[in-house]
Structure formats: C-alpha cells, structure tokens
Structure 1
Amino acid sequence: MLRFADKVVLVTGAAAGIGEATARRFADEGASVVLADWSLDKAQVVASELHSGKALAVHVDVSILKSVQQMIDATLQRFGRLDVLVNNAGVHIPGTVLDATEADWRKISSVNIDGVIFCSKLALPYLVESKGCIVNTASVSGLGGDWGGAFYCASKGAVVNFTRALALDHGAQGVRVNSVCPGLTRTAMTWDWDQSVRDKFYERIPLQREALPSEVAAVIAFLASADASFINGVNLPVDGGQTASDGQPRVG
C-alpha cells in the first residue's frame, strides 16, 4: 500500500523504538519522512536506510520552543508542506511522588507534555492548510494508574486529554487528532528485563506477550490514513487486551 504517496510525515523520537518503526512504516507506504530526535547521529543512520531523497534527519529538543520551530522550518524548507505530525518523543523515570525528585518532574513534563504541546502548536497552521492530522503516542499509563510511576502517569494522562481537546478545537478546520496508547512494548528500555518481570506483565495481557514496535507503528499509520477519516479524538489502546480487564485477578 502507498497510502502516503506525496505526503510529508514528521516523527519525533524517530531514532529508535516506536518512533523508528513508525518512520519506517510511513516510508514504506510512500511518504517523505522527517526523523526528528535528540540523537541526530542515530536518526541519520535510520534515515540513510530509507528511500533516498525522501528522508530527512533533524535534531530537536521538543522541550524547547525554538528548537521545535527549527524542526518545522527544516521540514518546510526540504519538503514544502506537512501532512502528518507524530508526537512520539517521550521519557520515562520511575518513582512515587515521594521518591521522585523535582528534577525528574521537570524532565518528564518538559518532554512528555511541553513537547507535545509545542510541536502541535507550531505544526497546526500547516496541518490546517494540508487538512492533515496529528497522532500522539500516549500510553496505557495515561488511561489508568501504575505503581511507582506517578509523574509518568500524570504526563501521559495530560497527553490523553490534550488529544481530546485538540480534536474538538481543530476538527472543523479539517485536522484530525488521535493517540495510540501502547502497553508493554519491546524497546531498548525493556530488552534487558528479567523474564520474571515480563511474566508479571503477561499475567495482565491476554495475548501473553509484549507488542512489537512495528505493531504500534501500524496503528499510528492507520490513524493517520484516509482509512481512519472519521476517527477523531480517540485514545486507542494497543495493549494486547490489557485494559479490557477491570483489574481483578484470573482465578482458576
């Protein structure tokens, strides 16, 4: 399928994990892709493996408005338009409210909340022009609470409701806004987990495994495509059925 031929897609946090898989998926479907990341070297490596002339790696710190503006400017200078923004950049720092520090909160909120707001704010005028869309990477942690992750849950809860607010405000301008809410996903952060930790998660996931980044990327691509043309303001779990549970344990 070439659902994104002649479209320009900007993905933040594109150097690894879900962001990398998303950039690859859009490129495979014909898009010109801007891979934005704090780690320019890693983003350039991924970009070099995509279609020649249709991939651009740029450095960005999404927590700084000026840096986000430079990212948008680079996108327009290279490709002349913007059709899809994928707000994927994010950080995770564990800890309860008592354990985590003020610095932890500043870091999490500046990337996970400020970054999504800044990127959306500066991209929206061009998305209105192209009748494009935004897909945010939220989390199941934004739909329900986690043990030992208060700041992260707060930040992803903000993304979930920001998604709804954007969808209300800009739907009439032709811009759809949705989010994916992944559960456990096989990324660098989880590769070295002990099997005993994975098994704890599997107890809560009916499919008994973690998602592959490519599986989350496929849902992002769907939400950005014309196949989802009447889907707006949705926070879609991609979690193998984890949030289908009311939290009670399996008995027998």
Structure 2
Amino acid sequence: MNIAIILSAGSGSRFGSDVPKQFINLAGKNIIEYTIAAFEQNDKIDEICIVTDTIYHEKLLEISKNNNFIKVKKVIQGGVERKDSSYNAIKEYENQKDINLIFHDAVRPFVSQRIINDTIEALKKYNAIDVAIPTADTIIQIDEISKTIENIPQRSKLQRGQTPQAFKLEIIKKAHELAIEDINEPMFTDDCGLVKQYLPNEKIFVVNGEEKNIKITYKEDLLFAEKLIQFNSISLSKENSFSTLKNKVIVVFGGSSGIGKEIVKIANAHKAKAISFSRINGIDITSKKDVKKALKKVFERYGKIDSVINCAATLTKKELVDMRFEDISKEININFFGAINIAKTSFKYLKKSKGSLILFTSSSYTRGRSSYSLYSSTKAAIVNLTQSLASEWQKNSINVNVICPARTATPMREKNFGKEDNKTLLSSKIVAENTLQTLIKDFSGLVIDVKQGI
C-alpha cells in the first residue's frame, strides 16, 4: 500500500507571509491544492495523509471536500521540526503491514506523475528512495566563522535534493527511532539524511527529478510558479483542444477587428455562441448603459453567459505634452474605465455560470514606453485590476486572467506604426487561440504571455 505523506506544517517565515506559504493563492487555488491533486491523480497512490498544524485541519478537510480528493483519509498534527512531522505520520501507520510512505513537501506543487511513478517503482528493489537533479552551480563549502572557502566539491558528483522521498515503513521508522535515542543527534533537513546517518548500510536509490519540481520558498518563486502553470496548461498542439467550447456563450467586446474578430471566428467554428460588440454595432464600452444593454441582450437570448472577453483598446502614439486633454480622457476611458464597466456589469452573469473574464494588456505594461505613456500606464492598471478581481471573485468561482501579447499584427498597430514585416509580428490568430485556451483552463489571476513560438 502506497501512502502519500504531504508535509504541510511549515510556518512560511522565509516567504514573509501572514499565513503558511502552502495556503498562499497561486492562480486561483492554494498551493497545496495542486500538490494534493498530483497524488490524488496517481493510480499507484492508495491514500493521502496531510501533516499540518491543528488550526488548519478544518481548512484542509474543506479543501479536500471541495476538490473531491477522495484519497485524503487523514489530516494529522504536525511537529515542531520536519522530522517530528514525519515521525507523527510514521506513528499513524506503524501497526499496518506492507506500507510504503512517500513523503512530499506541500510547497512542491509541480511534482510530475513520472517522478511519483518512478519513485514507487524503485521501492520494489530498494527500501529508501530520494529524488534529485544535477546542480548547475558550483557548490562551495565555507568556514562559518571566517566566511572563507574551505572546500569546493567536484560538481559532477553533487545533486540537489527534491521530494518525494519514499521508504518501506519499517526502514524509516527504525531510522527515526535511532535518531530519538541519539542525544547528540545532528540536524537533518530530510528523511533520507536520517536513513544515511543511522542505517549506513541501507542503499538510498536516487530517482531523476525535474527542474520544474520547485519548492516555493521565497516570493520570487511564486512568480516563476505562475509561469509554470501557464506553460503547463496552455498547449496548442492537441487536436480538438477547443471541443469544450461547444455551446459556450462568449461575449467579446472589441470583436469587430484584429484579435477580437479572430476570437469570435475560432469560437464559432468550434460551435460556441460568440457574440461581438463594438462601436460598429452601437456599443461603447465607456458607457455603462451600453455594456449593460449588450450583456442583457445576450442573456435574454441564450439564458447564460459563460465568458466575457474585452479586446477593445485604443493607442495614441504621441508624447503626453502633445496630447489634448480630450484625447487623454478618451484613451483612459476606453482602456481602463471601459474594462471596469465590463467587469462590474459582467459579474452577476459570470457568478451564475461560474465563468471567466479575460482582459488584455500589453508588453509595455512592464515598462512605460516613450510616445505612448497613457497606453502603457493603462495597460499596467489592467494587470493590477485582473489580479485584484481574481482574488475578490475567487469565492464566486469566477476566473479572471489577462492576455499579454507581444507585438501583434492588428489594424490598431498598423495605424500607429505603419507597415511592418509580418515575420516580426504575432498573428491575431495565434493570440486568439491562446486566449481561448486560457478561457477553458481552470486558473485565475495570471498574466498570460503570448510570444512567438508559444
């Protein structure tokens, strides 16, 4: 019997958060939800036990219920240190026979099915298993007092340890008990360290890990994790990847040209009901009345709205001092207040359908560009709006994401930059495909970068 032990008793002090990092929001879910799901989905895992502080037991039981994690059978008390949490799990199963314990960090949400399978398979030959990857950096050993280098080990023999770590129950139980008896026990950061120290004749087999099997320790790791979710989730290589669009009702503002027009075309080709609104058919997104009228019309006809996409935007390529105040107000109203109108008015419909809102930003949001300061700044505001709404609407099961395409061949771009070599630009079709892929995925609060080759 293979038991996954998810170690979730960490405080998250290095992350600098008020709550343990395993409960930090990552694309609309707690980090630990991705971790549990990885073991829940594995056919070789029979049961899951989560080790955490008592105050989070109810939260984890609720998470398990909401996600239908049927393999989660136990949520038990964590210990002061990692080894104490591991030992608590060992004690839970010590009276059972033929048990394999697979220990995994709650904040390693990207463990692959291949790693889990290889780890369990290795237990057929070995009693202790580690997971590791080669180190790309030179590792130095320093004198802690003088802060000078004592040794530079040969890099080819060094690897970086990951999890899971797996053991036959009797082996890891014996290692822990010997450590408890040792009054001079050295500090260990993992369970393989205990086996190596107290059962030196026990071979520990090393399964190949993966670079993406990261441990989210610092806030910078969270940014990387968001991109991993994006690139793991959005794949345009699968045939019939848009089959789930069938009968979905999608409202596209700014759907008369460019990216919006392609979205409508592709969605309808896959039997969705994609309805376009723009100034061409009398809808001005800066008018709350117009937006309300458009959405009401769609809802009355189809009885639901599954997704709302806002592609409408304007760009004036001028320095700020050369712009009239009327033009400044117009650009802010269309690019920012228009998105707010759409978001606020869409909420009641998307709440009913547990749907999706998709907004658009620009690569210029990361750094203001000369000659289009208003466009850059409003697009930065859209990113912040998306992330805020994703957090606010999480309780309503509404996904909110923002598409960030690289330079794209659209009428708006041609108007401002003239004719360009299309080989240097994204096609509107590629951006539209990525947008619809985002729409059908279950994540929220992400900036979806669309670049050449993605």
Shift of 1:194: 5.4
Contact kept? 1:93, 1:149, Cα under 8 Å: yes
Counterpart-to-counterpart distance in 1, 2:321 and 2:406? 25
CA shift digits 1:177-227 (9 cap, x unpaired)? 0011112111123447556xx47xx9xxxxx620100000011101100xx
**Structure holding more strand per residue:** 2
- Counterpart residue number, 1:239: 451
Counterpart of 2:446 in structure 1: which amino acid?
A: V
Matched, 1:215 2:411: no
Counterpart-to-counterpart distance in 1, 2:377 and 2:319? 11
Contact kept? 1:62, 1:111, Cα under 8 Å: yes
Matched, 1:21 2:262: yes
Counterpart-to-counterpart distance in 2, 1:172 and 1:190? 38
SS in 2 for 1:129: helix
Superposed counterparts of 1:47-126, under 5 Å: 59-126=282-349
- Counterpart residue number, 2:280: 39
SS in 2 for 1:14: coil
Counterpart-to-counterpart distance in 1, 2:391 and 2:304? 23
The structure 2 residue matched to 1:9, chosen from 237, 246, 250, is: 250
Counterpart-to-counterpart distance in 2, 1:155 and 1:24? 28
Q: Answer 1 or 2: higher relative contact order, Cα 8 Å, separation at least 6.
A: 1
RMSD across aligned C-alpha pairs, in angstroms?
1.8
The structure 2 residue matched to 1:162, chosen from 385, 388, 396, is: 385
SS in 2 for 1:189: helix
- Counterpart residue number, 1:129: 352
**Paired-residue identity, %:** 25
Contact kept? 2:309, 2:357, Cα under 8 Å: yes
Counterpart-to-counterpart distance in 2, 1:30 and 1:124? 24
Provide closer, same or farther for how the CA distance between residues 186 and 101 of structure 1 changes in structure 2, counting only shifts above 3 A. Answer: same
Counterpart-to-counterpart distance in 2, 1:191 and 1:146? 17
The structure whose Rg is larger is 2
Counterpart-to-counterpart distance in 2, 1:146 and 1:28? 37
Counterpart of 2:285 in structure 1: which amino acid?
A: V
Counterpart-to-counterpart distance in 2, 1:72 and 1:182? 26
CA shift digits 1:67-92 (9 cap, x unpaired)? 11111111112111100000111111
Counterpart-to-counterpart distance in 2, 1:86 and 1:220? 9
Counterpart-to-counterpart distance in 2, 1:103 and 1:117? 20
SS in 2 for 1:111: helix
Counterpart-to-counterpart distance in 1, 2:372 and 2:427? 22
Provide closer, same or farther for how the CA distance between residues 90 and 190 of structure 1 changes in structure 2, counting only shifts above 3 A. Answer: closer
Counterpart-to-counterpart distance in 1, 2:354 and 2:340? 19
My pick for the range that moved more, 143-152 or 165-174, is 143-152
CA shift digits 1:12-32 (9 cap, x unpaired)? 010010010011121122211
Counterpart of 2:400 in structure 1: which amino acid?
A: V
- Counterpart residue number, 1:30: 271
Shift of 1:143: 2.4
Contact kept? 1:139, 1:237, Cα under 8 Å: no
Q: TM-score with structure 2 length normalisation?
A: 0.45
Q: TM-score with structure 1 length normalisation?
A: 0.79
Counterpart of 1:28 in structure 2: which amino acid?
A: A
Q: How many residues of Structure 1 are paired with residues of Structure 2 in the alignment?
A: 211
Counterpart of 1:215 in structure 2: which amino acid?
A: I
